[in-house]
Amino acid sequence: MNNLSAAERDRIEVGKPLPFSVFTAEGKLLLAAGQVVASERLRELLLKTGQSRALIDTGLMADPLSSTRTSRQAREEAQQENDAANPEAVLESLRRDYDAAKAGYHLAIAMARNETDKPFTVQLLGVHNQMIIVTAPVHPNGSLVPVLPGQTWSCRTFQMTSAFRFTTLVAKAAFEPYPHLHLQLQKQVEQLKVRGQPRAKVSVKGELRTPQPTPCVIVDLSAGGARIALDGRETLESGREINLVMTVEVLQQKYDLALNGTVVSALGPSDARHPAAAFYGLKFSEPGETDALVLHGFVSSHLLAEFHSLWQMLSMAATALPAR
C-alpha cells in the first residue's frame, strides 16, 4: 500500500473514471477503478485519505478486488462441500453467521433516487431532530454511490409491525469518521401494517418435534411465530403440526420453552450464503401465560433502541394505508 504520488493525484479528475483503485490506510476500498469521480467533494476525500494498491490500467498488478472475490468464492465453496458431507455443520455454520450478523446488526433502510431505480441498502446509525443518520450507500464492489446534498431519495423500511415508504432530502454527506449521510424526513410518510406483533432477529438453537426430534436454528422470533432453518434434507409440509423446543435467556435467567404450532410457509433455501439450509415459517398456538411473558420479554430485549426511535418518528409523520 503506497501513498498517492503526485502523478496519481493529477490523474484523479472530477467527472472522469478513476484509473486505479483507491483505498484507506486500513485497506478499505474508497473508490474502485472505473468508477466516476462524481464531485469535487469526493475528489478531495480521495486526495486527503486515499492510498493506491493497484494500478489497474497498467496491468502491473492484479486487481485486488478480483483476488478478494476469488478467495471468498473458494472459502464459500469449501464451506458448502463441508456442509454437504456433515449435516450438523449446516446449522452450526448458519448459526455462527447469524450470531456474527446479529452482534453488528443495525436496522436496514432501502434507498433509491426514485421508485423505479435499483435501491441500495444502508444501515441506520441514529435519529436526531427529524434527521435520519445512515451509512453511505455503496456499489456491490464496495465503492461509494455518489450522493449530493439537496438530492431527494425514496426510502423504504420495515419497522416493528409496519412497512414504511417515505422521501428524504440529503442534508449532509460526510466522510469522517466514515462515510455517512444526514437525511431530512419530508412530510409524506406512508405506513402499511403487515404484521400483528414485532419480530426480532435472533440466533437460537432449537429442536423441532414432528414428532421425531430434528435440530433447527430459530433466526427470527415473535410471540406469535418464528422463522426457522433446518438441514435442507429435512422437509416440512405447510399445515403440519409441530412442537418447538428452545432455551432463552431473559433478565439473566434461562427458561425452557416448548411451543406448539403449525408450519405456515415453506421458504426453501432462501439464504444464498447457506444453500444447504431450508427455511420455514411457523405460527404458534396460543401459548400459556408464562410462556407468552417469556417470549415477549425475550423479543423485546432484542429490539434495538434505534429501532424504536425511527418507528416513533415515522409513525408520527405517517399516513396509514388500508391493510391488504
CB-count burial class (<10 Å; 0-12, 13-18, 19+) for 277? buried
Which are the contacts of 74, defined by CB distance < 8 A and separation ≥ 6?
A: none
Provide the pLDDT for residue 255. Answer: 93
Q: Is the pTM of this model over 0.85?
A: no
- Listed in order, strand segments (DSSP E) in 194-276 are 200-209, 213-221, 225-231, 241-250, 253-268
> Please, are residues 48 and 24 in contact by the beta-carbon 8 Å criterion?
no
Cβ atoms within 10 Å of 194's Cβ, excluding its own:
11
- 215-272 residue pLDDT tens: 999 998 888 899 999 988 888 999 999 999 999 988 888 999 999 999 999 988 877 7
Q: Is the dihedral of CA 144, 150, 155, 161 positive or negative?
A: positive
Provide the pLDDT for residue 311. Answer: 58
Integer angstrom CA distances of residue 90 from 10, 71, 119, 123 = 51, 21, 31, 28
Q: Determine the average pLDDT of the residues in 298-323.
A: 61
Provide the pLDDT for residue 46. Answer: 82
Q: Determine the average pLDDT of the residues in 302-324.
A: 57
Q: Determine the average pLDDT of the residues in 302-321.
A: 58
Provide the pLDDT for residue 96. Answer: 83
Is the confidence at residue 201, as pLDDT, over 50? yes
Is the confidence at residue 75, as pLDDT, over 50? no
Provide the pLDDT for residue 84. Answer: 47
Is the confidence at residue 119, as pLDDT, over 80? yes
- 3-51 residue pLDDT tens: 788 888 888 888 888 888 887 776 667 777 777 777 787 788 788 877 7
H or E stretch at 3 = strand 2-3
State what percent of residues in the chain have pLDDT above 90.
20
Is the confidence at residue 322, as pLDDT, over 70? no
Provide the pLDDT for residue 224. Answer: 87
Is the confidence at residue 298, as pLDDT, over 90? no
Provide the pLDDT for residue 169. Answer: 93
Residue 306 — very low, low, confident or very high, per pLDDT cuts 50/70/90? very low
- 278-290 residue pLDDT tens: 999 999 998 888 8
User: What DSSP state is assigned to residue 17?
Assistant: B
Q: What 3-state DSSP class applies to 14?
A: coil
Provide the pLDDT for residue 286. Answer: 84
> Please, are residues 30 and 22 in contact by the beta-carbon 8 Å criterion?
yes
Q: How far apart are CA 271 and CA 217, in angstroms?
A: 13
C-alpha cell at 102: 446479529
Q: How far apart are CA 135 and CA 156, in angstroms?
A: 15
Average pLDDT, the chain: 77
Provide the pLDDT for residue 230. Answer: 92
Q: Determine the average pLDDT of the residues in 87-103.
A: 73
Is the confidence at residue 67, as pLDDT, over 60? no
